[in-house]
Amino acid sequence: MGKDVILNFNCCILDVVTVTIGDGTLFGPNVQIYPADHPRDKETRLEGWEFGRPIKIGKNVWIGGGAMILPGVTIGDDAII
């Protein structure tokens, strides 16, 4: 996690793989970051397979309240979500 990152209340970050958060990023309340993923086909999913896809959030990003960031997402610097 970068410098001067602010997480508001009730944020959730699952850490099954790397989640990178750049300096100066702000999270509103109830932001959810979910890098965990699973197979799309029913048979494999029922076998219990799970994996993760890294998430990268750039510098000076503002992620508004209630946002959900899903597996494999990259958010560039200075973005507003």
Catalytic positions: 38
Read off the amino acid at residue 41.
D
- CA pair distance 5, 19, nearest whole angstrom: 13
Distance set, CA 70 to CA 25, 40, 47, 52 (Å):
17, 15, 22, 10
